Amino acid sequence: MSLALFIANRLTLRSASGKMQTGVVIAVTGIALSVVVMLISIAVMMGFKEEIRRKIMGFDSQLTVTVHGADSNTGTKLVELSELRNALKVLPPEASSALTIRQPVILKTPADFSGAVVKGMSRDYDWEFVRENLVEGEIPDFRADSTLYHIIISRNLAKDLDAKLGDKIDAYFLGDGSYRTRRLKIAAVYDTHFGEYDDNYIFSTLGLLSGLAGLDENEGTQLEIYGLKSDREIADCGRELSAALLEELYTGKISTLYSVTDVHTSAALYFNWLALLDTNVVVILTLMALLTCLTLVSSLYILILRRVNMIGILKALGATDGLIRRAFIYLTLRILAAGLLIGNAVSVCLIVIQDSTRIIPLNPEAYYLDHVPMLLSIPALLILNISIIVVASLVLVLPSAIITSIPPSKVINYD
């Protein structure tokens, strides 16, 4: 093994003039381009899925607890926080929860009107998602009584209503066969580029909606749970919380049957769509892997043909076919290593530049994002590179068998 490496290291990939051989340059360039395409594809896929997931979970919490059979947008069946406190102990320490109320509303301005859903959040709600997507104004201090009727509206709704920051609009809250009217002030405007949600959601304080319905601070239409780290943890916690609630119902500790909904169920359409991206990436990786393997096999044959007389001399000196084959495989892997090094460097630079500058735009109406997202994943980068090296090493074993068919007596003086 060490002798094969010694031979491979002694062989040069440069021509007599000292320049890199043309075939080697073409091979390294082809491999580098394949690596760039593969890494960029993975980065875009992971970045796109991460951004869309964040938007979905910003509107629909990771886990949602509602009264069984209730419509969370009508407010007809209420979640009582006092009944849930004991069952919530099954959740991990990093999980957070907050009561919310969702109430249908019709907004009216002198110019137009539109329907939407007002989502009222409790004081301990995490506003980070809304804050990240604000385009005008600031999140009000909902702890103050003066901000009770302040709302955060989407740019789409503001455009439909011909309203702007600071305007007051009439709101007709629907429920129980009647409606209540309030005048609300636009305190901030957000835009997530997620039209299906932006067109329908308005954010406000829980006090606004609980006051309309005559509820206290421990009641809402649903309890939202977030802060879980992975899809597996979301699914596991959902099952554990559901089992805990059922056990408390059967033992008489609570009197209400609650349902626990996973975000992958409530937003299944979007997650199924994201799953299709994996198929596209697999196709790209397969094609690029085939291109890389074909390039390496071609390079191996070129290297062998350029050194046929050397192979004959080594055989005449007693070198085995296996030793010579390993030496040429190692030499070809040097070309692969150069291509991987260049491809990784270029890919990481492109990913970092796009992530920091967002220079490549997207149509948000079609893709829900205004830029191409790229996520640099070190584990994915390492796995891809190791996989390429392993596959290439295996692929080169069979083509290198051509060395066994080279008779030393005929090729020593081959030119």
Tokens representing residue 365 in the block: 């109406």
* Distance (Å, whole) CA 279 – CA 352: 25
Residues of the chain with pLDDT > 90: what percent? 16
Which two structure tokens, joined as six digits, stand for 302? 């070129």
pLDDT greater than 80 at residue 42: yes
The more confidently predicted of residues 85 and 124 is 85
Q: Give the mean pLDDT of the chain.
A: 83
Cα–chain-centroid distance for residue 86? 34
Rounded to the nearest angstrom, the gap between the alpha carbon of residue 300 and the centroid of all alpha carbons in its chain is: 38
| Cβ 40 vs Cβ 346: under 8 Å | no
How is 50-99 classified by DSSP, letter by letter? HHHHHHHHHHS-SEEEEETT--TTT--S-EEHHHHTTGGGGS-TT-EEEE
Any bridge partners for residue 260, and if so which?
Answer: 65
Identify whether the C-beta of residue 334 lies closer than 8 Å to the C-beta of residue 8: yes
348 or 269: whose pLDDT is higher? 348
| Mean pLDDT lowest among 93-102, 290-299, 320-329 | 320-329
Q: Write the CA distances from 259 to 64, 87, 222, 248, integer angstroms.
A: 8, 13, 10, 13
Please report the pLDDT score of residue 410 as a whole number: 54
72: tokens are 């969370």
Question: Within its chain, how far is the Cα of 283 from the centroid?
Answer: 18
pLDDT above 80 for 388: yes
- As a whole number of angstroms, the distance between CA 149 and CA 247 comes to 40
Encode pLDDT of 262-307 as tens digits: 988 888 888 888 888 888 888 888 888 888 888 888 877 777 767 7
Instruction: Using pLDDT thresholds of 50, 70 and 90, give the confidence band for residue 331.
Output: confident
